[in-house]
Structure 1
């Protein structure tokens, strides 16, 4: 046995600070923290510590009216590996100059930075997302694209780009945190956490938000919205583009121009995308055969469906159904056998309270 194998590996818990902005969404905060709590509980070790922060240490009101008393002011924050900004309603009014200055200091000190819901706006305003790919709640996509042209906005549920971790709202932060937990501590723990939360499918970076078209286009393009609605309602038997044009009383040429101008692709390409996205949902969420999925999504043959699917998603339908990733594999990292637990850690407190539960330490990792 080598010396590396004979000696236990020691690694301190990862520490995460959640910066709460006024009117933050509570569901996004909970979705980010709860996987950390469950990771500690199921592993029987303090893998993560977390604390909530505000600018001055005073209570912060969530968008649902509940007040959260943070663990500390940012100036008294404990040492952290990562800071996650929790945004919500009226994000532009919630950001103060002191928030931006403090976040810039964290970046200079080499900390990882993240955001949930609309918190990405704060990182972008601080100039900390320039050149990075970024996810944000779909309500903010258009305004962020206009306000921060150097930020690469995406409709994906969450984005992990080097040392930046951004997520859209609702339950999407849970997917992001589960992905990070799995990357650090293995798929087994990640799957067990998902099971505890009755979370049937962990979504990945390739899953997108469903952005209402009217939000992308505004109210000035009723013809285009009507055409897309017709497409969405007719995925199994696609409507010919000439027929679509007749339905909304525009010419085929006008139809092509509308799609190129506002959706940056041809009508046929957009229609294909809708059918493929629907196929992906069916592959992941149902037991329908690949042949059946191809049929109900309007493909004349399974080989043609497989070819289109691979070209769009970079993975064949069979591998998608089996959960095979074409990206980097999740690496299992060693977990320390002994940890020095600080009595002031809120994560440790949650861990101690969980020790009497039947599920405590039900997952053991090497």
Structure 2
């Protein structure tokens, strides 16, 4: 029996559980179609033997420090919207040490979905390659990594580098990749097992929420949104934002009402609160630390504002998302 092709999945903190499920389901179905274990998955956690998904569910996995890549295989980094700089540094250091000799080997497939492409770019593994990345960080990635051709496409397959944008795009990516590797009939059988009746092509763009689209048509509004996103811990005043983007405060309010049907202050508050919610779900920072990092002056101020917006307190939010635990084996697992 041929040796199964190793699949190494690196789960970034706050990764998409949906994306992970899609990846594992594709390879499980591929094994079913093949009739024997064709692909063998091991999943790795960046920090310690456990990692928290974006939805608050914890999974156990092999610590990243134990990653020991062979001479060929499939590596994919699974993230969601954004990656903490410290996490990027940890993954980059480990991958660069592992791939120092072999990462350009034609036997290796190196991939990412969501914000995982940011990590690959930081490692230098995407220089001169086309790549997809989560639409929320596309603009920033284009600026930060000019040697990588980031696109708004659902996914990209460029030689031995593969990448997907947000959510379900990784399913389309892997089914197309299986078609290239094993033939279209094999990929169609895998798709049938998964109940997929239409594959989206790589030239389709990632769907972007209507609330985020107007910024593409208004340079000043786009600048204002970027300023807000970059200044969550120390929120800017509306007058300062207006001055920085070159409009009056009244003009800024008109732009927000016209394109987003809200006021700058309301949008900014919602942005900070949603970021706080992600931090409560994905990190172990204290509630006070989260509040201060999102621009609230005290614990009570943060708690009251959070409850008024979401209907429950930060403490209740954390309790709702840290109790569920799903544990998987922390050693290599054959998927049958």
So what's the TM-score if we normalise by structure 2?
0.60
CA shift, 1:99, in A, is: 1.1
Aligned 8 A contact 1:31 1:173 in 2: yes
Aligned 8 A contact 1:104 1:128 in 2: no
CA shift, 1:75, in A, is: 2.3
Please state if 1:36 is matched with 2:36: no
Aligned to 1:259: none
Distance, in Å, in 2 between the alignment partners of 1:94 and 1:28 is 22
Per-residue displacement from partner, 1:209-262 (whole Å, max 9, x unpaired)?
Answer: 13453343567369xxxxxxxxxxxxxxxxxxxxxxxxxxxxxxxxxxxxxxxx
5+ long unaligned stretches in structure 1: 1-9, 223-343, 352-366
Partner of 1:220, secondary structure, is helix
Aligned to 2:155: 158
Please state if 1:133 is matched with 2:120: no
Partner of 1:95, secondary structure, is helix
Distance, in Å, in 2 between the alignment partners of 1:18 and 1:203 is 23
Distance, in Å, in 1 between the alignment partners of 2:141 and 2:4 is 34
Please state if 1:82 is matched with 2:69: no
Name the CA shift for 1:26/1:215 in 2 (closer, same or farther; >3 Å). Answer: farther
Divergent runs of 4+, >3 A: 71-74, 76-80, 215-219
What are the within-5 Å matches in structure 2 for residues 43-58 of structure 1? 43-58=34-49
CA shift, 1:105, in A, is: 2.8
Partner of 1:131, secondary structure, is coil
What are the within-5 Å matches in structure 2 for residues 305-324 of structure 1? none
What are the within-5 Å matches in structure 2 for residues 170-185 of structure 1? 170-185=167-182
Distance, in Å, in 2 between the alignment partners of 1:149 and 1:217 is 23
So what's the TM-score if we normalise by structure 1?
0.55
CA shift, 1:96, in A, is: 4.1
Aligned 8 A contact 1:22 1:87 in 2: yes
Aligned to 2:8: 17
CA shift, 1:179, in A, is: 1.2
Aligned 8 A contact 1:21 1:94 in 2: no
RMSD, matched Cα: 2.3
Aligned to 1:148: 145
**Larger Rg, first or second structure (1 or 2):** 1
Aligned residues: 219
Please state if 1:188 is matched with 2:194: no
What are the within-5 Å matches in structure 2 for residues 1-366 of structure 1? 11-77=2-68, 79=70, 81-93=73-85, 95-108=87-100, 109-110=102-103, 111-211=108-208, 212-217=212-217, 220=220, 345-347=332-334, 350-351=335-336
Aligned 8 A contact 2:30 2:190 in 1: yes
